[in-house]
Structure 1
């Protein structure tokens, strides 16, 4: 695992964009794994700038989303398919139909989960997966206690996660859905490269569990210790509970 602490969020976005640009230069039809939330926004802004200013193209690529709320209306602004379109896909040149996500409005969500998991495999797997982490250590919506080899499925969101996400719902926790469809930890671990971004003091416990703790279902993010190609980007606040954050400071 490579860990980089950087005080400059734009520098983090640029470094990850470099990795994605390199991947696309080697494999134009790459499969990207995309995440919602505030952590990846600097990456998405930088990719949009490079597309606009330098012609970086996603025309042959595909993107696979990590998760989706169950039951959120198709036109709801916080439906993750709409969020990814707003923050990411609409600024780039993806071909129609190449942004994929689990359907939280499916009649049979368990069948939808299995079929979405299979669709990733059929597409050849994810080449580079962007991840954030929740304050309780969840990645995607794999909450504490999730099986470390779990596949895509439905999960009940914890009160902590719903409280954390209430800021996207006008601070009304009652408006946050109680269920989500999410790639499982086992599914995520099949991506060839993982890039995790953690920002802010609220992520410091999860970061400590990831980098200095034991692998345990109680901190789902800790499973990344077992992946052969992981890069973790932190700001100084997220790194605040590491034994020696200075070891990881960017040059």
Structure 2
């Protein structure tokens, strides 16, 4: 009898874990556009940044990340690309992993989305998280356990980035991140091509984040079983992941 009850308890725990993982992500629409939104509470969820594997080479994909974490007894329940990277799959801006600065902040001017200033930093650790303009983040000297720089900012103190125009013609699959209440991390990825302005409005008006950061465009990738994967056809640089396990 005791063995039967123990077995039922284990099965119930496994089912509950699967339901919790699935419930973290949901389909949503905003102004007629489709998105997948995933919410995690740093009070309970184990969030981290990942770049290189045990052999020192870039992991490159959620599937390899899942394998490496599985060898450590952890289960990857969510992964997404976490900022822009160069041809060698290295971060192009600030990148902090487990308290170590592996790439310094990039404050240079240039072309492309990363340099559409102000860009920003997504940082988290010790149950807290935030999204902040790069210059403000550096001046604040925040000692974050994890941080990744990308750009542009989508929402800045409740206002859409001043260089993101409502009539912008470019529409692509896009992903980004915002934070609410200093600990609720909200990731979003479009399920169809959308403009920068539509994507920024999602975070400001639908998700209620006062600050949000663009992570990337065409290479945007989502791993959140049992939901269908998005992307995965290109090799990735740094990734953000959520795990179950010790």
The answer to which structure, 1 or 2, has the higher relative contact order (CA under 8 A, 6+ apart) is 2
Is the structural similarity TM-score above 0.5? no
What TM bracket, shorter-length normalisation? 0.3 to 0.5
